[in-house]
Amino acid sequence: MIEKLIPLKDGKKVFIRYYNQLSNAETILYLHGGPGDNCENFNYAAYLLSKNFNIVMLDQRGVLRSDRVEENEPLIVQMLVDDCEYIREQLNIEQWILIGHSYGGFLALLYAYQFSKSIKAVIYENPNWSSLESIKTLNRNTSNYLRNINEYELAKEIDYKLSNCNNFETLAKLQMEIPWEYRKEVYYIKEWTDEIKRYCSLEDISSDQWENSIIHSKRIIADKININNYIHYIKEISCGSLLIKGDHDPVISIDFQDYFVQNSLNGKLEIVEDCGHFIHTDQVKDFCNIVTNFINANEHNAC
pLDDT of residue 300: 47
Beta strands (DSSP E) in the chain are: 2-7, 13-19, 27-31, 54-59, 96-101, 119-125, 240-246, 267-272
Q: Is the pLDDT of residue 104 over 80?
A: yes
If you write DSSP's letter for every residue of 15-26 in order, what string do you get? Answer: EEEEE---TTS-
Q: Is the pLDDT of residue 222 over 60?
A: yes
Query: Number of C-alpha atoms within 13 angstroms, CB side, residue 115?
Result: 23
Smallest CA-to-CA distance from 171 within 212, 227, 252 is with 227
pLDDT category of residue 194 using cuts at 50, 70 and 90: very high
Q: How far is CA 154 from CA 161, 251, 259, in A?
A: 11, 19, 32
Write down the pTM of the prediction.
0.96
* Structural domain boundaries in the chain: 2-130+192-297, 132-189
pLDDT category of residue 201 using cuts at 50, 70 and 90: confident
Q: Give CA torsion, residues 137, 211, 220, 108, to 10 deg.
A: -80
pLDDT category of residue 146 using cuts at 50, 70 and 90: very high
Q: Is the pLDDT of residue 303 over 80?
A: no
Return the CATH number of 2-130+192-297, one of 2.60.40.10, 2.30.110.10, 3.90.230.10, 3.40.50.1820: 3.40.50.1820
Smallest CA-to-CA distance from 129 within 241, 295, 284 is with 241
The residue-averaged pLDDT of 286-294 equals 98
